[in-house]
């Protein structure tokens, strides 16, 4: 699998697109952490921190599918870069004005969230125009999931480092400036400038007219809820132990576990359709969240956080293939953006619930929200098995926009099996 990843990165534009997308997504990937730390540093309560993070997540949820559809209709440069700049301005407003005016603080995070550029969905739309063959495209999805975990491992550490060196406000400003540079790198690349979506059927529901996609989104709402609750629960755990750095280590351990899990998932061959495998992976993910409610000593808790993250990247990588199999033709960026949106809504709800759980109960209660979210995700996948078993068949399209992604071999699959 490592050799396969290297083959992908050697392809023209591939390394630049992957790196630019990860850097461009850094503000979004660390926003909940940065907002919580900023709010606490400004004297705000856990409930306010959770509410601001939730407002950002909900705003992102609204903006992602709208911007994703705009990308499908008008191309990437016209949408991605202006959105990145506007999002950075929103976070800068929060950093510079603080919590003196709560309406202004909420406005700032809402603007930042709504304008978050759909770089994640945009990258997956670009892979077919950069790589040769469906097997490479699907392998790129797996590599994408692994690379995200590097960002989620490094991101929390970078935020806490910036906070330690300067302040939470400086962390917000620096992270968002870096994000604009990442988006700029992507949209100036040739694949981004020339990419056009496949023709699409005019339908107001767009990608949401696929029942299988709706089932997947329902499950990943609860996965997002679990992760969102851990964001707030981790801060409470760090406060309980009197060290702010504990929070960064917990979040980094969670990302490191996902990185290890993603590498292991992509290193072997798998049999069976991805929808069935996703149910098993999400079940194991739910089991990993439950021990966090024990809130043991810092070293043990860090190890549990790493264990809890092991099945996250495999779940994400597998979900990319499921999105491919169920997204209607001409809606590729929008479909992936809906996945980001649903994840964001779930994370927003998780942060909103975990804050009061800490204040009304205990830190363990807030970690329990994560366990409930994981179990609920599994229940959704089990109860919608019939619609997930009937993927949409996308007609072949010339490479450079979208192509037939539903009959190719998934990376890590035996050669005789269809993804």
Residue 397 belongs to some domain of the structure: no
Residue 329 belongs to some domain of the structure: yes
134, 324 in Cβ contact below 8 A?
A: no
Q: Kindly state the average pLDDT of the residues 174-193.
A: 95
Choose from 70-84, 148-162, 260-274, 347-361 the range with maximum mean pLDDT. Answer: 70-84
Q: How many domains does the chain have?
A: 1
Residue 122 pLDDT greater than 60, yes or no: yes
209, 19 in Cβ contact below 8 A?
A: no
Residue 401 belongs to some domain of the structure: no
Give the tens place of pLDDT for each residue, 399-409.
344 444 333 33
Residue 135 pLDDT greater than 80, yes or no: no
For the four alpha carbons of 276, 281, 285 and 286, in that order, the dihedral sign comes to: positive
Which ranges of 241-289 does DSSP label H, i.e. alpha helix?
245-266, 274-289
Burial of residue 9 (number of CB atoms within 10 Å: 0-12, 13-18, 19+): middle
Per-residue pLDDT, 178: 95
**Which range of residues forms the domain containing residue 77?**
2-388
Residue 87 belongs to some domain of the structure: yes
58, 345 in Cβ contact below 8 A?
A: yes
Residue 406 belongs to some domain of the structure: no
pLDDT band for position 3 (cuts 50, 70, 90):
low
Per-residue pLDDT, 136: 75
Which ranges of 75-133 does DSSP label H, i.e. alpha helix?
77-97, 102-114, 119-130
pLDDT band for position 103 (cuts 50, 70, 90):
very high
DSSP annotation of 76 reads: S
CA 387 to chain centre: 24
Residue 138 pLDDT greater than 90, yes or no: no
C-alpha closest to that of 352 among 29, 101, 52, 59? 52
Per-residue pLDDT, 393: 47
Structure-token pair, residue 149: 């975990």
C-alpha closest to that of 346 among 255, 229, 231? 229
CATH of the domain at 238: 1.20.1250.20
Give the tens place of pLDDT for each residue, 11-45.
889 999 999 999 999 998 888 889 988 998 888 88
Distances (CA, A) of 409 to 125, 258, 336: 18, 24, 20
Per-residue pLDDT, 417: 31
What share of the chain has pLDDT > 90, as a percent?
34
Give the burial string for 339-360 (b: 16+ CB within 10 Å, else e): bbbbbbbbbbbbbbbbbbbbee
Residue 415 belongs to some domain of the structure: no
Give the burial string for 239-255 (b: 16+ CB within 10 Å, else e): bebeebebbbbbbbbbb
pLDDT band for position 225 (cuts 50, 70, 90):
very high
Using alpha carbons only, give the angle 168, 171, 175 rounded to the nearest 5 degrees. 150
What share of the chain has pLDDT > 70, as a percent?
87
Residue 417 belongs to some domain of the structure: no
Give the tens place of pLDDT for each residue, 259-272.
788 777 766 667 77
Residue 414 belongs to some domain of the structure: no
Distances (CA, A) of 58 to 1, 2, 122, 350: 36, 37, 20, 11
Q: Give dist(CA 318, CA 307) in Å, integer.
A: 19
- Which neighbouring-strand residues pair with 107? none
C-alpha closest to that of 180 among 255, 249, 268, 117? 117
Per-residue pLDDT, 206: 66
Per-residue pLDDT, 198: 63
pLDDT band for position 6 (cuts 50, 70, 90):
confident
What string of DSSP letters covers 28-56? HHHHHHHHHHHHHHTT--HHHHHHHHHHH
């Amino acid at each position: 699998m490592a050799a396969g990843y290297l083959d992908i990165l050697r392809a023209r534009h591939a390394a630049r697109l992957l790196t630019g997308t990860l850097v461009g997504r850094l503000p979004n990937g660390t926003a909940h952490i940065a907002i919580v730390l900023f709010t606490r540093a400004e004297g705000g309560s856990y409930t306010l921190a959770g509410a601001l993070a939730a407002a950002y997540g909900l705003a992102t949820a609204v903006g992602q599918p709208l911007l994703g559809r705009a990308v499908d209709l008008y191309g990437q440069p016209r949408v991605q870069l202006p959105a990145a700049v506007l999002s950075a301005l929103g976070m800068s407003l929060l950093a510079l004005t603080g919590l003196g005016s709560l309406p202004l603080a909420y406005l700032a995070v809402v603007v930042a969230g709504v304008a978050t550029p759909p770089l994640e969905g945009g990258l997956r739309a670009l892979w077919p125009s950069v790589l040769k063959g469906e097997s490479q495209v699907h392998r790129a999805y797996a590599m994408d999931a692994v690379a995200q975990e590097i960002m989620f491992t490094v991101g929390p550490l970078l935020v806490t480092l910036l906070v330690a060196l300067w302040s939470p406000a400086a962390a917000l400003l620096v992270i968002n400036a870096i994000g604009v540079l990442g988006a700029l790198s992507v949209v100036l690349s040739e694949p981004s400038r020339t990419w056009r979506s496949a023709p699409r059927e005019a339908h107001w529901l767009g990608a949401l007219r696929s029942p299988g996609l709706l089932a997947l989104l329902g499950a990943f709402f609860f996965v997002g809820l679990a992760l969102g609750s851990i964001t707030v629960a981790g801060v409470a755990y760090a406060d309980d132990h009197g060290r702010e750095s504990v929070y960064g280590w917990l979040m980094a351990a969670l990302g490191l576990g996902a990185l290890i899990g993603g590498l292991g998932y992509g290193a072997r061959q798998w049999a069976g359709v991805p929808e069935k495998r996703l149910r098993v992976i999400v079940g194991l993910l739910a089991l990993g969240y439950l021990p966090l409610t024990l809130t043991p000593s810092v070293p043990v808790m860090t190890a549990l956080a790493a264990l809890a993250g092991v099945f996250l990247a495999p779940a994400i990588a597998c979900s990319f293939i499921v999105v491919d199999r169920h997204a209607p033709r001409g809606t590729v960026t929008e479909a992936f953006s809906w996945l980001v949106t649903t994840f964001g809504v779930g994370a927003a709800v998780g942060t909103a619930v975990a804050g009061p759980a800490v204040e009304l109960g205990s830190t363990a209660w807030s970690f329990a929200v994560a366990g409930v979210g994981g179990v609920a995700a599994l229940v959704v996948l089990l109860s919608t098995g019939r619609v997930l078993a009937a993927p949409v068949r996308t007609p072949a399209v010339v490479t450079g926009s979208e192509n037939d992604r539903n009959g190719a071999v998934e990376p890590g699959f035996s050669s005789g099996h269809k993804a």
